[in-house]
Amino acid sequence: MTVRVRFAPSPTGHLHIGGARTAIYNWAFARHHGGAFVLRIDDTDLERSTDENTAAILRSLRWLGLDWDEGPEAGGDFGPYYQTQRTGTYEPALERMKANGHAYPCFCTAETLETKREASRAEGGFSGYDRTCRNLDPSTVAARIAAGEPHVWRVAVPDDRGDIVIDDLVRGETRFPIDAMDDFILVRTDGSATYNFATVVDDWTMAMTHIIRGDDHLSNTPRQVVVYEALGAEVPTFAHMSMIFGADGKRLSKRHGATSVEAYAEEGFLPEAVLNYLALLGWSLDGETTLFDRETLVREFDLSRVSKSPAVWDPEKLEWMNGSYIREMSTDKFVDTMTPWLERAGFATAADVAARRDWFLSLAPLISERVKRFDEVADKVAFLFEEPTIEDSVRVKILEKDGAARALEAAAEVLATVEFHAEEIEAALRTVPEATGVKPKDAFQAIRVAATGTTVSPPLFESLELLGKERTLARMAAALELVTT
Protein backbone atom coordinates (compact mmCIF):
# COMPACT_ATOMS: atom_id res chain seq x y z
CA MET A 1 0.00 0.00 0.00
CA THR A 2 1.31 3.40 -0.85
CA VAL A 3 1.98 5.80 1.95
CA ARG A 4 -0.46 8.67 2.44
CA VAL A 5 0.12 11.29 5.10
CA ARG A 6 -1.39 14.64 5.76
CA PHE A 7 -0.72 17.96 7.39
CA ALA A 8 -3.91 19.53 8.67
CA PRO A 9 -3.30 23.03 9.99
CA SER A 10 -6.04 25.17 11.44
CA PRO A 11 -6.10 28.58 9.76
CA THR A 12 -6.55 30.42 13.02
CA GLY A 13 -3.12 31.94 12.68
CA HIS A 14 0.02 31.83 10.57
CA LEU A 15 2.18 28.77 10.14
CA HIS A 16 3.83 28.26 13.48
CA ILE A 17 7.32 26.82 13.95
CA GLY A 18 5.90 23.70 15.55
CA GLY A 19 3.39 23.22 12.78
CA ALA A 20 6.11 23.74 10.22
CA ARG A 21 8.16 20.96 11.77
CA THR A 22 5.16 18.64 11.72
CA ALA A 23 4.67 19.52 8.07
CA ILE A 24 8.34 18.87 7.31
CA TYR A 25 8.29 15.44 8.93
CA ASN A 26 5.12 14.46 7.12
CA TRP A 27 6.47 15.75 3.85
CA ALA A 28 9.85 14.04 4.27
CA PHE A 29 8.16 10.80 5.25
CA ALA A 30 5.93 10.89 2.19
CA ARG A 31 8.77 11.76 -0.17
CA HIS A 32 11.04 9.15 1.37
CA HIS A 33 8.46 6.44 0.76
CA GLY A 34 7.31 7.76 -2.57
CA GLY A 35 3.89 8.39 -1.07
CA ALA A 36 1.45 11.26 -1.09
CA PHE A 37 1.67 14.36 1.07
CA VAL A 38 -1.80 15.77 1.53
CA LEU A 39 -2.68 19.20 2.81
CA ARG A 40 -6.01 19.60 4.50
CA ILE A 41 -7.21 22.84 6.01
CA ASP A 42 -9.00 22.19 9.28
CA ASP A 43 -11.04 25.36 9.25
CA THR A 44 -13.97 24.31 11.39
CA ASP A 45 -13.23 26.95 13.97
CA LEU A 46 -15.34 29.50 12.13
CA GLU A 47 -14.72 32.21 14.69
CA ARG A 48 -11.01 32.38 14.22
CA SER A 49 -10.31 30.88 10.81
CA THR A 50 -9.63 33.31 7.99
CA ASP A 51 -8.79 33.10 4.32
CA GLU A 52 -5.82 35.35 4.95
CA ASN A 53 -4.40 32.84 7.38
CA THR A 54 -4.96 30.00 4.94
CA ALA A 55 -3.14 31.96 2.25
CA ALA A 56 -0.30 32.72 4.65
CA ILE A 57 0.03 29.06 5.57
CA LEU A 58 0.21 28.00 1.93
CA ARG A 59 2.78 30.72 1.32
CA SER A 60 4.93 29.56 4.22
CA LEU A 61 4.78 25.92 3.17
CA ARG A 62 5.84 26.86 -0.33
CA TRP A 63 8.57 29.08 1.03
CA LEU A 64 9.94 26.09 2.91
CA GLY A 65 9.78 24.11 -0.31
CA LEU A 66 7.14 21.70 0.93
CA ASP A 67 4.99 20.80 -2.03
CA TRP A 68 1.77 18.89 -1.52
CA ASP A 69 0.32 16.34 -3.88
CA GLU A 70 -3.25 16.95 -2.88
CA GLY A 71 -4.94 19.86 -1.21
CA PRO A 72 -5.81 23.49 -1.82
CA GLU A 73 -4.72 24.69 -5.24
CA ALA A 74 -3.54 21.18 -6.07
CA GLY A 75 -6.76 19.22 -6.15
CA GLY A 76 -6.83 15.46 -5.76
CA ASP A 77 -9.15 12.49 -5.69
CA PHE A 78 -9.90 12.64 -2.00
CA GLY A 79 -11.27 16.16 -1.71
CA PRO A 80 -12.59 18.48 -0.70
CA TYR A 81 -9.53 19.56 1.23
CA TYR A 82 -11.19 22.08 3.46
CA GLN A 83 -12.76 20.51 6.50
CA THR A 84 -15.76 22.84 6.40
CA GLN A 85 -16.61 21.34 3.03
CA ARG A 86 -16.50 17.79 4.31
CA THR A 87 -19.36 17.99 6.77
CA GLY A 88 -21.47 15.85 4.48
CA THR A 89 -19.28 12.84 5.17
CA TYR A 90 -19.88 12.79 8.91
CA GLU A 91 -23.55 11.95 8.66
CA PRO A 92 -23.10 8.67 6.76
CA ALA A 93 -20.23 7.77 9.07
CA LEU A 94 -22.46 8.25 12.06
CA GLU A 95 -25.18 6.18 10.39
CA ARG A 96 -22.67 3.44 9.93
CA MET A 97 -21.80 3.50 13.61
CA LYS A 98 -25.43 3.57 14.63
CA ALA A 99 -26.09 0.55 12.47
CA ASN A 100 -23.29 -1.29 14.20
CA GLY A 101 -24.58 -0.27 17.61
CA HIS A 102 -21.39 1.72 18.18
CA ALA A 103 -23.14 5.03 18.62
CA TYR A 104 -26.09 6.02 20.74
CA PRO A 105 -28.04 9.20 21.46
CA CYS A 106 -27.58 10.92 24.80
CA PHE A 107 -30.17 13.28 26.19
CA CYS A 108 -28.27 14.39 29.25
CA THR A 109 -27.93 18.14 29.47
CA ALA A 110 -24.65 19.91 29.72
CA GLU A 111 -25.59 21.04 33.23
CA THR A 112 -26.31 17.61 34.64
CA LEU A 113 -23.10 16.32 33.07
CA GLU A 114 -21.18 19.10 34.69
CA THR A 115 -22.51 18.36 38.18
CA LYS A 116 -21.92 14.64 37.74
CA ARG A 117 -18.40 15.26 36.57
CA GLU A 118 -17.64 17.44 39.56
CA ALA A 119 -19.05 14.85 41.92
CA SER A 120 -17.09 11.95 40.52
CA ARG A 121 -13.94 13.98 40.33
CA ALA A 122 -14.31 14.98 43.95
CA GLU A 123 -14.38 11.29 44.83
CA GLY A 124 -11.31 10.84 42.73
CA GLY A 125 -10.96 8.49 39.83
CA PHE A 126 -12.77 8.19 36.56
CA SER A 127 -14.59 11.35 35.61
CA GLY A 128 -16.05 10.33 32.27
CA TYR A 129 -19.66 10.01 31.25
CA ASP A 130 -21.60 7.52 33.38
CA ARG A 131 -23.39 6.01 30.40
CA THR A 132 -26.89 6.85 31.67
CA CYS A 133 -28.31 6.99 28.17
CA ARG A 134 -26.43 4.00 26.83
CA ASN A 135 -28.93 1.50 28.10
CA LEU A 136 -32.11 3.39 27.43
CA ASP A 137 -34.99 1.37 26.11
CA PRO A 138 -35.03 1.53 22.28
CA SER A 139 -38.66 2.57 22.19
CA THR A 140 -38.18 5.44 24.60
CA VAL A 141 -35.17 6.53 22.60
CA ALA A 142 -37.22 6.56 19.43
CA ALA A 143 -40.02 8.43 21.16
CA ARG A 144 -37.74 11.10 22.60
CA ILE A 145 -36.03 11.64 19.28
CA ALA A 146 -39.40 11.81 17.54
CA ALA A 147 -40.47 14.38 20.11
CA GLY A 148 -37.52 16.46 19.02
CA GLU A 149 -35.71 16.28 22.32
CA PRO A 150 -32.17 17.71 21.96
CA HIS A 151 -29.47 15.08 22.05
CA VAL A 152 -25.88 14.37 21.16
CA TRP A 153 -24.47 11.15 19.76
CA ARG A 154 -21.90 9.26 21.79
CA VAL A 155 -19.61 6.43 20.91
CA ALA A 156 -20.32 3.16 22.71
CA VAL A 157 -16.88 2.11 23.89
CA PRO A 158 -16.89 -1.70 23.81
CA ASP A 159 -16.52 -3.37 27.21
CA ASP A 160 -14.98 -6.51 25.88
CA ARG A 161 -12.32 -4.93 23.75
CA GLY A 162 -9.34 -5.05 26.03
CA ASP A 163 -6.76 -2.33 26.43
CA ILE A 164 -5.94 -0.20 23.46
CA VAL A 165 -2.38 -0.65 22.38
CA ILE A 166 -0.81 1.77 19.97
CA ASP A 167 2.36 0.86 18.19
CA ASP A 168 3.64 4.37 17.84
CA LEU A 169 6.47 4.76 15.36
CA VAL A 170 8.18 7.31 17.58
CA ARG A 171 7.33 6.24 21.10
CA GLY A 172 6.95 2.52 20.69
CA GLU A 173 4.19 0.50 22.26
CA THR A 174 1.82 2.59 24.32
CA ARG A 175 -1.04 1.01 26.28
CA PHE A 176 -4.26 2.70 27.34
CA PRO A 177 -6.62 0.94 29.75
CA ILE A 178 -10.04 0.56 28.16
CA ASP A 179 -11.92 1.23 31.39
CA ALA A 180 -10.49 4.72 31.52
CA MET A 181 -12.21 5.39 28.22
CA ASP A 182 -15.14 7.70 28.11
CA ASP A 183 -18.19 7.33 25.87
CA PHE A 184 -17.22 10.65 24.36
CA ILE A 185 -19.38 12.75 22.09
CA LEU A 186 -19.20 12.25 18.34
CA VAL A 187 -21.89 14.64 17.18
CA ARG A 188 -23.08 17.71 19.05
CA THR A 189 -26.65 18.81 19.65
CA ASP A 190 -26.40 21.08 16.64
CA GLY A 191 -25.38 18.15 14.47
CA SER A 192 -21.75 19.13 14.05
CA ALA A 193 -18.96 16.62 14.49
CA THR A 194 -16.47 16.90 17.33
CA TYR A 195 -12.76 16.93 16.63
CA ASN A 196 -12.10 13.30 17.51
CA PHE A 197 -14.89 12.17 15.22
CA ALA A 198 -14.23 14.58 12.37
CA THR A 199 -10.51 13.90 12.06
CA VAL A 200 -11.04 10.17 12.08
CA VAL A 201 -13.69 10.37 9.39
CA ASP A 202 -11.53 12.73 7.36
CA ASP A 203 -8.38 10.67 7.74
CA TRP A 204 -10.30 7.50 6.96
CA THR A 205 -12.09 8.86 3.91
CA MET A 206 -8.85 10.39 2.71
CA ALA A 207 -7.20 6.99 3.07
CA MET A 208 -4.39 8.09 5.35
CA THR A 209 -1.95 5.33 6.15
CA HIS A 210 0.11 7.20 8.75
CA ILE A 211 -0.75 9.95 11.16
CA ILE A 212 2.29 11.99 12.10
CA ARG A 213 1.49 14.77 14.55
CA GLY A 214 2.39 16.42 17.83
CA ASP A 215 2.24 14.42 21.02
CA ASP A 216 -0.49 16.65 22.37
CA HIS A 217 -2.65 14.26 20.37
CA LEU A 218 -1.24 11.10 21.87
CA SER A 219 -3.95 10.94 24.53
CA ASN A 220 -6.61 11.42 21.87
CA THR A 221 -5.35 8.48 19.91
CA PRO A 222 -7.10 5.67 21.81
CA ARG A 223 -10.39 7.54 21.40
CA GLN A 224 -9.77 7.77 17.71
CA VAL A 225 -8.85 4.11 17.51
CA VAL A 226 -12.24 3.28 19.00
CA VAL A 227 -13.90 5.30 16.24
CA TYR A 228 -11.87 3.67 13.48
CA GLU A 229 -12.85 0.27 14.78
CA ALA A 230 -16.49 1.23 15.17
CA LEU A 231 -16.43 2.40 11.59
CA GLY A 232 -14.92 -0.86 10.49
CA ALA A 233 -12.03 1.16 9.13
CA GLU A 234 -8.42 0.18 9.07
CA VAL A 235 -6.52 1.92 11.83
CA PRO A 236 -3.61 3.95 10.47
CA THR A 237 -0.14 3.84 11.97
CA PHE A 238 0.59 6.63 14.41
CA ALA A 239 3.74 8.61 15.11
CA HIS A 240 3.73 11.26 17.81
CA MET A 241 6.52 13.75 17.96
CA SER A 242 7.29 15.90 20.95
CA MET A 243 6.67 19.60 21.16
CA ILE A 244 8.98 22.55 20.81
CA PHE A 245 9.66 24.57 23.93
CA GLY A 246 11.05 28.02 24.59
CA ALA A 247 14.24 28.54 26.60
CA ASP A 248 12.19 28.54 29.80
CA GLY A 249 10.88 25.04 29.16
CA LYS A 250 7.39 26.24 28.39
CA ARG A 251 5.55 25.61 25.18
CA LEU A 252 6.87 27.95 22.51
CA SER A 253 4.77 31.09 22.32
CA LYS A 254 4.96 34.72 21.29
CA ARG A 255 6.75 35.45 24.54
CA HIS A 256 9.77 33.67 23.11
CA GLY A 257 10.06 35.93 20.07
CA ALA A 258 9.19 35.12 16.50
CA THR A 259 7.18 31.95 16.21
CA SER A 260 5.78 32.12 12.70
CA VAL A 261 7.67 30.92 9.67
CA GLU A 262 6.76 34.15 7.96
CA ALA A 263 8.54 36.18 10.61
CA TYR A 264 11.75 34.27 9.97
CA ALA A 265 11.43 34.89 6.26
CA GLU A 266 11.06 38.59 6.97
CA GLU A 267 14.14 38.61 9.17
CA GLY A 268 16.23 37.35 6.31
CA PHE A 269 16.47 33.66 7.03
CA LEU A 270 16.90 31.26 4.15
CA PRO A 271 14.24 28.61 3.67
CA GLU A 272 16.84 25.87 3.35
CA ALA A 273 18.35 26.88 6.69
CA VAL A 274 15.01 26.98 8.47
CA LEU A 275 14.13 23.63 6.96
CA ASN A 276 17.45 22.15 8.01
CA TYR A 277 17.23 23.54 11.52
CA LEU A 278 13.64 22.45 12.04
CA ALA A 279 14.36 19.00 10.67
CA LEU A 280 17.24 18.65 13.08
CA LEU A 281 15.19 19.83 16.01
CA GLY A 282 13.85 16.50 17.12
CA TRP A 283 15.38 14.31 14.48
CA SER A 284 18.94 13.28 13.84
CA LEU A 285 20.49 11.86 10.75
CA ASP A 286 23.30 10.02 12.48
CA GLY A 287 24.21 12.16 15.45
CA GLU A 288 27.10 13.75 13.60
CA THR A 289 25.65 15.42 10.54
CA THR A 290 24.12 18.82 11.17
CA LEU A 291 24.10 20.39 7.72
CA PHE A 292 22.14 18.63 5.04
CA ASP A 293 20.04 19.57 2.06
CA ARG A 294 16.48 18.73 1.15
CA GLU A 295 17.44 15.68 -0.90
CA THR A 296 19.48 14.23 1.93
CA LEU A 297 16.62 14.81 4.34
CA VAL A 298 14.25 12.93 2.06
CA ARG A 299 16.72 10.12 1.52
CA GLU A 300 17.61 9.70 5.19
CA PHE A 301 14.42 10.61 7.01
CA ASP A 302 13.26 7.93 9.36
CA LEU A 303 10.64 8.22 12.09
CA SER A 304 12.57 5.86 14.33
CA ARG A 305 15.20 8.58 14.70
CA VAL A 306 12.69 11.17 15.85
CA SER A 307 13.31 12.23 19.42
CA LYS A 308 10.79 11.39 22.13
CA SER A 309 11.65 14.32 24.35
CA PRO A 310 10.74 17.96 23.80
CA ALA A 311 13.27 20.25 22.17
CA VAL A 312 14.09 23.80 23.14
CA TRP A 313 14.08 26.33 20.32
CA ASP A 314 17.57 27.79 20.01
CA PRO A 315 17.62 30.97 17.90
CA GLU A 316 21.41 31.18 18.06
CA LYS A 317 21.90 27.84 16.43
CA LEU A 318 19.41 28.77 13.73
CA GLU A 319 21.38 31.95 13.09
CA TRP A 320 24.63 30.07 12.89
CA MET A 321 23.07 27.64 10.46
CA ASN A 322 21.61 30.43 8.36
CA GLY A 323 25.02 32.09 8.23
CA SER A 324 26.50 28.83 7.14
CA TYR A 325 24.03 28.58 4.28
CA ILE A 326 24.66 32.18 3.31
CA ARG A 327 28.39 31.56 3.09
CA GLU A 328 27.79 28.60 0.85
CA MET A 329 25.57 30.50 -1.56
CA SER A 330 26.88 31.29 -4.98
CA THR A 331 27.78 34.92 -5.52
CA ASP A 332 25.00 35.24 -8.05
CA LYS A 333 22.39 33.87 -5.74
CA PHE A 334 23.61 36.06 -2.93
CA VAL A 335 23.22 39.16 -5.09
CA ASP A 336 19.72 38.09 -6.11
CA THR A 337 18.70 37.41 -2.55
CA MET A 338 20.28 40.62 -1.32
CA THR A 339 18.52 42.84 -3.86
CA PRO A 340 15.14 43.12 -2.12
CA TRP A 341 16.93 44.04 1.08
CA LEU A 342 18.79 46.82 -0.70
CA GLU A 343 15.52 48.02 -2.18
CA ARG A 344 13.91 48.01 1.21
CA ALA A 345 16.75 50.12 2.60
CA GLY A 346 16.44 52.53 -0.32
CA PHE A 347 20.01 51.86 -1.44
CA ALA A 348 19.39 50.35 -4.85
CA THR A 349 16.61 49.09 -7.05
CA ALA A 350 16.57 45.82 -8.92
CA ALA A 351 17.30 47.87 -12.01
CA ASP A 352 20.36 49.41 -10.36
CA VAL A 353 21.62 45.97 -9.48
CA ALA A 354 21.08 44.74 -12.99
CA ALA A 355 22.83 47.77 -14.46
CA ARG A 356 25.91 47.38 -12.28
CA ARG A 357 25.82 43.69 -11.66
CA ASP A 358 29.61 43.28 -11.71
CA TRP A 359 29.98 45.84 -8.99
CA PHE A 360 27.39 44.04 -6.85
CA LEU A 361 29.02 40.72 -7.60
CA SER A 362 32.29 41.96 -6.18
CA LEU A 363 30.48 43.38 -3.17
CA ALA A 364 28.73 40.11 -2.39
CA PRO A 365 31.59 38.00 -1.03
CA LEU A 366 32.62 40.83 1.27
CA ILE A 367 29.21 40.81 2.88
CA SER A 368 28.18 37.19 2.71
CA GLU A 369 30.68 35.99 5.25
CA ARG A 370 29.78 38.77 7.66
CA VAL A 371 26.05 38.33 8.01
CA LYS A 372 23.91 35.65 9.52
CA ARG A 373 20.68 37.01 8.14
CA PHE A 374 19.79 39.24 5.24
CA ASP A 375 18.34 41.93 7.43
CA GLU A 376 21.92 42.72 8.46
CA VAL A 377 23.00 43.46 4.91
CA ALA A 378 21.79 47.05 4.69
CA ASP A 379 23.77 48.09 7.72
CA LYS A 380 26.93 46.45 6.36
CA VAL A 381 26.76 48.14 2.96
CA ALA A 382 25.38 51.51 4.04
CA PHE A 383 28.74 53.30 3.64
CA LEU A 384 28.64 52.59 -0.08
CA PHE A 385 25.28 54.25 -0.57
CA GLU A 386 25.22 57.19 1.75
CA GLU A 387 27.71 59.64 3.18
CA PRO A 388 28.95 58.44 6.54
CA THR A 389 28.72 60.48 9.69
CA ILE A 390 31.59 59.95 12.04
CA GLU A 391 30.67 59.72 15.68
CA ASP A 392 32.48 62.03 18.06
CA SER A 393 33.91 59.20 20.10
CA VAL A 394 35.28 57.55 16.98
CA ARG A 395 36.71 60.82 15.73
CA VAL A 396 38.51 61.40 19.00
CA LYS A 397 39.73 57.86 19.36
CA ILE A 398 40.87 57.19 15.82
CA LEU A 399 41.18 60.33 13.72
CA GLU A 400 42.67 62.53 16.39
CA LYS A 401 45.14 59.95 17.40
CA ASP A 402 48.81 60.82 16.90
CA GLY A 403 49.82 60.32 13.32
CA ALA A 404 46.33 59.69 12.00
CA ALA A 405 46.18 62.91 10.07
CA ARG A 406 49.62 62.32 8.67
CA ALA A 407 48.66 58.83 7.55
CA LEU A 408 45.50 60.17 5.92
CA GLU A 409 47.40 62.78 4.01
CA ALA A 410 49.96 60.28 2.81
CA ALA A 411 47.26 57.82 1.87
CA ALA A 412 45.34 60.39 -0.11
CA GLU A 413 48.46 61.28 -1.93
CA VAL A 414 49.39 57.76 -3.01
CA LEU A 415 45.82 56.80 -3.80
CA ALA A 416 45.44 59.72 -6.13
CA THR A 417 47.95 58.23 -8.52
CA VAL A 418 46.85 54.62 -8.49
CA GLU A 419 44.54 52.36 -10.51
CA PHE A 420 41.57 51.77 -8.24
CA HIS A 421 41.73 48.02 -7.80
CA ALA A 422 42.15 46.29 -4.47
CA GLU A 423 45.64 44.98 -5.24
CA GLU A 424 46.96 48.36 -6.34
CA ILE A 425 45.22 50.10 -3.48
CA GLU A 426 46.78 47.67 -1.05
CA ALA A 427 50.23 48.07 -2.56
CA ALA A 428 49.94 51.82 -2.31
CA LEU A 429 48.60 51.91 1.21
CA ARG A 430 51.20 49.44 2.46
CA THR A 431 53.79 52.16 1.89
CA VAL A 432 52.01 54.59 4.18
CA PRO A 433 53.06 53.21 7.57
CA GLU A 434 56.71 53.20 6.68
CA ALA A 435 56.61 56.60 5.05
CA THR A 436 54.85 58.21 8.00
CA GLY A 437 56.06 56.16 10.94
CA VAL A 438 52.48 55.41 11.89
CA LYS A 439 51.73 51.84 12.93
CA PRO A 440 49.88 49.91 10.21
CA LYS A 441 46.89 49.27 12.43
CA ASP A 442 46.49 52.92 13.29
CA ALA A 443 46.98 54.07 9.73
CA PHE A 444 44.48 51.61 8.32
CA GLN A 445 41.93 52.32 11.01
CA ALA A 446 42.16 56.02 10.26
CA ILE A 447 41.58 55.37 6.59
CA ARG A 448 38.73 53.01 7.39
CA VAL A 449 36.99 55.57 9.55
CA ALA A 450 37.49 58.25 6.93
CA ALA A 451 36.08 56.09 4.17
CA THR A 452 33.32 54.21 5.95
CA GLY A 453 32.61 56.30 9.02
CA THR A 454 33.07 53.37 11.37
CA THR A 455 35.76 51.24 12.92
CA VAL A 456 34.18 48.08 11.61
CA SER A 457 33.80 47.47 7.91
CA PRO A 458 34.41 44.92 5.19
CA PRO A 459 38.10 44.54 4.23
CA LEU A 460 39.56 47.97 3.60
CA PHE A 461 41.17 47.67 0.16
CA GLU A 462 38.17 45.99 -1.40
CA SER A 463 35.87 48.50 0.24
CA LEU A 464 37.81 51.39 -1.23
CA GLU A 465 37.73 49.83 -4.65
CA LEU A 466 33.96 49.56 -4.41
CA LEU A 467 33.71 53.11 -3.20
CA GLY A 468 35.75 54.34 -6.12
CA LYS A 469 38.61 56.77 -6.26
CA GLU A 470 36.60 59.95 -6.37
CA ARG A 471 34.48 59.23 -3.33
CA THR A 472 37.39 57.75 -1.41
CA LEU A 473 39.50 60.84 -1.86
CA ALA A 474 36.60 63.13 -1.08
CA ARG A 475 35.90 61.31 2.17
CA MET A 476 39.53 61.39 3.19
CA ALA A 477 39.65 65.10 2.56
CA ALA A 478 36.50 65.56 4.58
CA ALA A 479 37.94 63.55 7.45
CA LEU A 480 41.11 65.59 7.40
CA GLU A 481 39.11 68.75 7.53
CA LEU A 482 37.26 67.37 10.54
CA VAL A 483 40.43 66.98 12.57
CA THR A 484 42.47 69.89 11.39
CA THR A 485 39.93 72.63 11.96
Which active-site residues does the annotation give? 254
* Interacting residue with RNA among 75, 101, 172, 232 (CB under 7 A): 172
Alpha-carbon gap, residue 203 to 183, rounded angstroms: 21
Alpha-carbon gap, residue 408 to 473, rounded angstroms: 10
- Residue 125 touching RNA (CB under 7 A): yes
7 close to 22: Cβ distance less than 8 angstroms: yes
Nearest to RNA of 304, 389 (CB atom)? 304
Distances (CA, A) of 157 to 97, 161, 465: 11, 8, 78
Q: Which of residues 185-244 bind RNA (CB under 7 A)?
A: 185, 188-190, 192, 194-196, 215-220, 242-243
Say if residue 5 is exposed, middle or buried (CB neighbours under 10 Å; 0-12, 13-18, 19+).
Answer: buried
335 close to 361: Cβ distance less than 8 angstroms: yes
Which residues are CB-contacts of 6 (< 8 A; sequence separation ≥ 6)?
26, 37, 38, 39, 40, 203, 206, 208, 211
- Residue 316 touching RNA (CB under 7 A): yes
Question: In the complex, what is the shortest distance from the CB of residue 291 to RNA, in angstroms, rounded to a whole number?
Answer: 8
SS3 185: strand
Alpha-carbon gap, residue 451 to 473, rounded angstroms: 8
* Interacting residue with RNA among 158, 246, 310, 340 (CB under 7 A): 310
Alpha-carbon gap, residue 471 to 384, rounded angstroms: 9
Question: In the complex, what is the shortest distance from the CB of residue 420 to RNA, in angstroms, rounded to a whole number?
Answer: 15
- Residue 249 touching RNA (CB under 7 A): yes
- Residue 309 touching RNA (CB under 7 A): yes
Q: Which of residues 358-417 bind RNA (CB under 7 A)?
A: 369-370
Q: Which of residues 420-449 bind RNA (CB under 7 A)?
A: 426, 440-441, 444-445, 448
Q: Which stretch binds RNA (CB under 7 A): 67-75, 85-93, 287-295, 412-420?
A: 287-295
- Residue 290 touching RNA (CB under 7 A): yes
Q: Residue 309 is which amino acid? A: S
Question: In the complex, what is the shortest distance from the CB of residue 290 to RNA, in angstroms, rounded to a whole number?
Answer: 4
- Residue 10 touching RNA (CB under 7 A): yes
Binding mask 81-120 for RNA (x = CB under 7 A): --x------------------------xxx--x---x---
Binding mask 321-360 for RNA (x = CB under 7 A): --xx--x---------------------------------
- Residue 171 touching RNA (CB under 7 A): yes
- Residue 293 touching RNA (CB under 7 A): no
- Residue 281 touching RNA (CB under 7 A): yes
56 close to 25: Cβ distance less than 8 angstroms: no
Q: Hey, how many other C-beta atoms are within 10 angstroms of the C-beta on 166?
A: 20
